[in-house]
Structure 1
Amino acid sequence: MVVATPITHLVLTACFFLACFNLPLPSLASSSSDFLRCLSTNVPSELLLTPGSPSFKPLLVSSIRNAKFVAPATARPPLCILTPTKASHIQAAVRCGRRHGVRLRVRSGGHDNEGLSYLSQRPEVFAVVDLAKLHTVRVDPREATAWVGSGTTLGELYYAVGKAAPGLAFPAGVCPTVGVGGLFTGGGQGLLMRKYGLSADNILDATIVDADGNLLQGKKAMGDDLFWAIRGGGGGSFGIVLSWKVRLVPVPPRVTFFNVTKTMEQGAVDAVTKWQTVAPALPDDLTVRVVVQQRQANFQSLYLGNCSGVVATLRDRFPELGVKYGDCREMSWLQYTAYLYFGDASNKIPLEVLLLNRTMTIGPFVKNKSDYVNKALTNNTWHNIFTWPLGGAAHGELILEPHGGRMAKIADAETPFPHRSGVLYNIQYVQFWNGTTAAGTNSIIMPNWINTMYDYMAPFVTKNPRAAYSNYRDLDFGVNKVVGGVSTYDSGKVWGERYFGANFRRLAMTKRKVDPADYFRNEQIVPPLL
């Protein structure tokens, strides 16, 4: 067995709370001090930071990827941040939290679109469990598997696999600073999913701390329902996953990348219209996604083969794109994972710097939404999208990820992620702006491009419910209502059926089995079906 470089990190993970049912809660001050006292007796002091520590704010902000959450997070900080290095530290946090009425929010990195892994929208006492130090990756090339800590970043995972087993890869997303703990629990889309499925489809085992603070080592200890639920059922609903065993997949020594840009004058609208039906039907070895921004379309590819193969295929299936040999770059899969995100920089900077760097400069304010499309939009509709009155995507971008291939062959109920057969592609809407907050409040002032675009798209995307990707969490869909200390199923299914479809009911039944008191709870977390 090869042990690869330890790694760390982040992504969209969820949050955790405690429900005390009919038991009276202790006072705020006493519960806070008692929780800290309880935790400090079970965890080394250097792993536990409180707001009085000079290192507290830098650590809190270090994994905030969306600038609009910096002010709210620092204005209403957690009681403490725990950076566990082993299971017993997390077990102690759960047991102390339940005993003393302190909620837990858990992050494996910070790419949570609504910041719920480190920020509460409600007035409550909570602590953050930051999994960044649980970042070891152990690769077994012979078995084509790896054990991955939940704090590992995608860049670290890719680097470890690429160095230890050059003929193997793992299907996941584009951004190297996303943490696997959040990504896996939401599904894990990426450019290998048409060939090998989601990240969650390639999870073989896991270890988890449950709502009672017990360590469940392996799927046999978890049971079928819990193991099913954590592979795409949303971060943080069922426990705190410490590590994952994943299946690695074969890739050739060289893969091919191209990035072809078309303006409207060069036929971008016609090309995207054609892409909708071509991309999901291409050979599984070839994925072509589209980024629409500033009235132009960027077509980006991953082909598990050489340049001549991709040029020949697209010349036959998608001649409107006009891909030529000069548009292609051949490289190893590991080089590709850096090149797709960093561009030409990956040729000049060592991969270690690019993929093992957990830090990320806080950029603009960001808002994300998502849709799934099962019937191609007309050319006229795409023309309206490219020329949208509030800027024609100048204020944001649309990222179109094709499905088909392996995605269409997996049953909707195989994992909690239901967006399978019949889906042509996923849309991610992203708006960036240099944000401000309303005077004297924490309310975010947001330009309206993303909301008007999302409203315009309603007739053209999935319906009843209008589906969305859980890793693009969106509080606009609604939040849980709490009655008697427990999140209600009826309030949860308003947003939950968008993410999980008919699978939401099974998720809620599993929640009832493993966490009936709703200890692990936040604004959008699977409630127990009582």
Structure 2
Amino acid sequence: MLRRRALLQSVALGAVSALAGKSTMDVQLIRPGDAAYRDAKLGYFTHYDAQRPSAIARVVSPADVQRCIEIARTDRTRITARCGGHSYPGYSTADGALVVDVRGLNRIDVRADGTAEVGAGVLLMDLYLALANAGRMMPAGTCATVGISGLTLGGGIGVTARAFGLTSDRLVSARIVTPDGVLRTVSAAENADLFWALRGGGGGNFGIVTSFVFRTEPARNLTTFTLQFPSAALPSLLSVWPDWQGKAPDALTSTVGVGSGANPYVEVGGCFVGTPANLKPLLDDLVRRVGSQPTSRRETEQGFLAAMERFAWCRVNDGSCKPSWNGGGGSQSRGSYVATSRMLTKPIADPQKLADIFKNTPHSYNMIDALGGAVGRGPATAFPHRAAVASIQVECTLAAGETNARRDMGVARDELGTMFGATGYVNYLDPQMPDWAQAYYGSSLTRLREVARKYDPDRVFAFAQGIA
């Protein structure tokens, strides 16, 4: 641990005199040249490994976060928060930035009233384990090493979204250090404008959250399922899936997954809050509509934690759900792909064209994640896509290099935009997204900019795709 004076001297020499006489509490700081720097600076994606933050501050308290923001304000140092490090454009490991690593803020307290206080540094599988141990559950994502902070701030699409809403819809309150260095509580009753913005306004825009309080649900058994269809059935599947999913009960949330190539991998998978017996007629109806029998079909009833392990392809009891980088101590692998998104805003009028986009995007895997249900009826928040049928994500591996992957991904993104409109999901940030602010924030953009000007008039948290 380094004393605060060392932190100031190494990151923001110009701020020393302005901060003289303040508290000398410790912050662990890792700088270029330190033995731990090479691993500490890594995020989830391998293609950003060459980026060099000016320092990584490992914070363990809101006061630590306040000191880091004070430094950034005084010396005009770029500052960024990092939890899971899954930023698609690599913003949480940016060159020259002071990276505030919040993983030390990892306390989870599941209360008797069914709410859970969750530190901003908690990763999803650690949250699921704590909730399951307390007999609770809540909607969130499927990647074990995604951080609760970024997921929540962007909205939070997950495999039980139609039943229980977005992750951000479950937010009761949060604690955030705003750019002026003040630790604030935000809720429907306190700083309500900022509370609105934090539920869908994107990470890194309004300060650094230190903790959340969520409403949870009693844990219950879930039925996970996967149906793999012949590749020739893809246009038919795309034609019937939106209506089938839209008319299904809220208990059912599904995803269409399509690999690229002349004979793509085609599947429908998801989660049903209920038993296999009640799910079976719904899946039978999908098969009937598609007009082609699946080549494989699986329905498995599981407890909440086991279901989340299944989606994450890991087990909490053997360390396989923990990161293999940044001292995570586990074996979860890192990512080597780029991604973009659009929102499915209307019925698929030309399923063959959509099938061709997926098939013809090299080295891609494409996902259509259902919305509607509880998401469509959700509270008034900054998340702008309540009326969307689904989100569409296009992931391209780096098999042919990053430049080619981004080019091919961009072609698919623009073709999808022609079909469904200039929209996108802020948690799948694409640095080349045309008119990105309107795409990600839609009708919420004007109000979000007002909130940003109010809380960050000096643009402390400005970045390439930041609201400020």
Would the TM-score normalized by the shorter structure come out above 0.5? yes
User: Quick one: percent identity of the two aligned structures?
Assistant: 26
1:471 Cα shift?
A: 0.4
Change (3 A) 1:382 1:211: closer
- Matching residue of 2:57: 82
- The question of 1:42 aligning with 2:42 is answered no
- Matching residue of 1:372: 343
- The question of 1:101 aligning with 2:80 is answered no
Alpha-carbon displacement from aligned partner over 1:132-172 (angstroms, at most 9, x marks no partner): 111111101x311100011100111111101112xx21111
The one-letter amino acid paired with 2:129 is Y
Q: What secondary structure, in the 3-state scheme, does the structure 2 residue paired with 1:98 have?
A: helix
Q: CA–CA distance in 2 between the matches of 1:197 and 1:127?
A: 34
Alpha-carbon displacement from aligned partner over 1:160-198 (angstroms, at most 9, x marks no partner): 101112xx2111111010001111111100111111111
Root-mean-square deviation (CA, aligned residues, Å) is: 2.6
- Matching residue of 2:45: 66
Q: CA–CA distance in 2 between the matches of 1:326 and 1:430?
A: 25
Q: What secondary structure, in the 3-state scheme, does the structure 2 residue paired with 1:454 have?
A: helix
Q: CA–CA distance in 2 between the matches of 1:310 and 1:239?
A: 43
- Matching residue of 1:285: 251
The one-letter amino acid paired with 1:152 is V
Q: Contact 2:83–2:120 (CA<8 Å) still a contact in 1?
A: yes
Alpha-carbon displacement from aligned partner over 1:352-411 (angstroms, at most 9, x marks no partner): 6244554566556311110112222223224423542x54xxx11111101121122236
- Matching residue of 2:139: 171
Q: Contact 2:228–2:296 (CA<8 Å) still a contact in 1?
A: no
Q: What secondary structure, in the 3-state scheme, does the structure 1 residue paired with 2:307 have?
A: helix
1:211 Cα shift?
A: 1.2
- Matching residue of 1:156: 126
Q: What secondary structure, in the 3-state scheme, does the structure 1 residue paired with 2:386 have?
A: coil
- The question of 1:457 aligning with 2:409 is answered no
1:325 Cα shift?
A: 11
- The aligned runs of 1:322-361 (5 Å cut-off) are 322=293, 327-342=298-313, 349=315, 351=317, 353-357=319-323, 358=328, 359=330
Query: Any unmatched runs of 5+ in structure 1?
Result: 1-28, 438-443, 479-493
Relative contact order: is structure 1 or structure 2 higher (C-alpha 8 Å, sep ≥ 6)? 1
Aligned length: 447
Q: What secondary structure, in the 3-state scheme, does the structure 2 residue paired with 1:369 have?
A: strand
Change (3 A) 1:115 1:360: farther
- Matching residue of 2:356: 384
Q: CA–CA distance in 1 between the matches of 2:10 and 2:58?
A: 23
Larger mean CA deviation between 107-116 and 449-458 belongs to 449-458
Q: 2:281 aligns with which of 312, 319, 341?
A: 312
Query: Any unmatched runs of 5+ in structure 2?
Result: 1-8
Larger mean CA deviation between 106-115 and 512-521 belongs to 512-521
1:51 Cα shift?
A: 1.1
Q: Contact 1:35–1:102 (CA<8 Å) still a contact in 2?
A: no
- Matching residue of 1:23: none
- The aligned runs of 1:72-151 (5 Å cut-off) are 73=51, 77-120=52-95, 125-140=96-111, 142-151=112-121
Q: 2:13 aligns with which of 9, 12, 33?
A: 33
Q: CA–CA distance in 2 between the matches of 1:114 and 1:195?
A: 31
Q: What secondary structure, in the 3-state scheme, does the structure 2 residue paired with 1:502 have?
A: helix
TM-score when normalising by structure 1: 0.79
Q: What secondary structure, in the 3-state scheme, does the structure 1 residue paired with 2:375 have?
A: helix
Q: Contact 1:238–1:520 (CA<8 Å) still a contact in 2?
A: yes
- Matching residue of 1:426: 391
Q: What secondary structure, in the 3-state scheme, does the structure 2 residue paired with 1:477 have?
A: coil
- Matching residue of 1:8: none
Q: CA–CA distance in 2 between the matches of 1:436 and 1:380?
A: 28
Q: Contact 1:418–1:501 (CA<8 Å) still a contact in 2?
A: yes
